[in-house]
Amino acid sequence: MSVLPLASTAPPRHRAPRPDGGRAHIAALDGLRGFAVAAVLLFHAGQLSGGFLGVDLFFVLSGYLITGLLLGAAQSGGPGALARFWIRRARRLLPALVVVVVVTVPLVWALGTVEQLRFALGDLPWVAVQAVNWHYIADGTGYWNASDTRVFAHLWSIGVEWQFYLVWPLVLAAVARGRHARRAVVAVAGAGVLVSLALTVTLGAAVDTTRAYEGTDTRAAALLLGALAATAPVRSLTAAIPRRAADALCLLLAAGLAAAWVATDGEKAPLLFKGGLFLHSVAAALLIVVIAQVPGTRAVRLVGSLLPRRLGEWSYSLYLWHWPVYLVLLPRLSGLGGWGATAVAIGVSLAAAATTKRFVEDPVRFRSGWARGRRGPVVVAVLVLATVALWLLIPVPAPGAGTVDVNQLR
């Protein structure tokens, strides 16, 4: 779930990378991120049974944009292109994550349950190394029935993306060379999709589907479908679609995604791990590449309109904040009813996300304000040390020590 801006001095909504190597902003891709994060927020609030599929849309978007950047860098970036790519990724994603962690741990200590605090402290080292998904898999933590005790449960997807960012650039650096580079990239990405699909079907047959749902190898299908959509052969095919046909195709694909989000009943959906996740990601990849390659359609104008675009611009911080906010707030808002509590929790998450973007993400991303020169790395280092201090100083509650009654904390 992440956006992929390059360092720039321009305002964030006016410049962004594009798979053809240009820098023109595609507002509709921000809008797709906005719809994806809205689906996830509603899912975690219990209001949209299939909203978790929004994460797959994030994965496809990430694969599409990252691959476009990397292919462009392979042509003109030189030997230091990979290092610069990883530095940009760290600068883009780590500061907001560190801030959320630094705030979340004392927040859970003050307002959360004993179990939430114990698991938060236990999960923290895995969050730090971006491997919390594999920690949950190894620990036997069922994603579908135990996440309400884990304030960092949602960071499994951030771990998957980080692991993809580490491995996929190395693969591209090896295959995106020579006369047949385009075909090689398509072949490798396509083979990866098929292997990932086979693993998903096999591992998804287990009683606990956490391994299939959170494994980097199983979720690679969505990321690699996005990568396929970013390759020149696919982009050239979709660019030739007439505008009216592109509008009709976008409407059909968007309707299919929306239907899946409404109708899918969590892990209980019978076809979810038998090709359902894969088909959803295929539809997402097609929608993304058509929107990106056929400008001026009604679909582009609608998806790129103000509200979804703004949500998309806030989506990373919004995703980071919403789950800790939900765990702390929703039990205390039961008197407002389901939708009332959801509205308040989303409102608080939006406020936190907007603040983080304004004072953390954008200054670091565009090297402005407090992030200029050496000050930015120093501030981030201090926050990291604060996180380590919290981890060391806050005592870990013993298992079975009891649970705080949230009604007593009002």
List pLDDT tens digits, range 34-64: 999 999 999 999 999 999 999 999 999 999 9
Report whether pLDDT(384) > 70: yes
What average pLDDT score do residues 73-89 get? 76
**345 Cβ contact partners less than 8 Å away, ≥ 6 residues apart:** 45, 322, 325, 326, 329, 330, 333
For 321-330, the pLDDT digits (tens) are 999 999 999 9
The alpha carbon of residue 199 and the mean position of all alpha carbons in its chain are separated, in whole angstroms, by 21
**60 Cβ contact partners less than 8 Å away, ≥ 6 residues apart:** 222, 223, 225, 226, 229, 281, 284, 285, 288
User: Cα separations (Å) of 45 from 51, 82, 98, 341?
Assistant: 10, 39, 24, 9
Report whether pLDDT(142) > 50: yes
pLDDT band for 409, please (50, 70, 90 cuts). very low
- pLDDT at position 100, please? 94
For 22-31, the pLDDT digits (tens) are 446 788 999 9
Burial class (CB in 10 A: 0-12, 13-18, 19+), 128: middle
pLDDT band for 399, please (50, 70, 90 cuts). low
How many whole angstroms separate alpha carbon 148 and alpha carbon 191? 36
For 334-345, the pLDDT digits (tens) are 888 889 999 999
How many whole angstroms separate alpha carbon 76 and alpha carbon 66? 16
What average pLDDT score do residues 107-132 get? 92
What average pLDDT score do residues 274-280 get? 96
- pLDDT at position 26, please? 85
Report whether pLDDT(6) > 60: no
- Do 64 and 285 meet the contact criterion of CB atoms below 8 Å apart? yes
- Do 255 and 95 meet the contact criterion of CB atoms below 8 Å apart? no
User: Cα separations (Å) of 24 from 12, 14, 80, 327?
Assistant: 12, 8, 24, 39
Report whether pLDDT(408) > 50: no
Identify the CA nearest to 323 among candidates 296, 301, 355, 345: 345
**Radius of gyration of the chain from its Cα atoms, rounded to whole angstroms:** 21
How many whole angstroms separate alpha carbon 19 and alpha carbon 64? 7
- Mean residue pLDDT across the chain: 85
- pLDDT at position 176, please? 78
Backbone φ and ψ of 207, nearest 5°: -65, -45
pLDDT band for 364, please (50, 70, 90 cuts). confident
- Residue reference for tokens 């007593």: 408
Structure token digits, residue 129: 């190394």
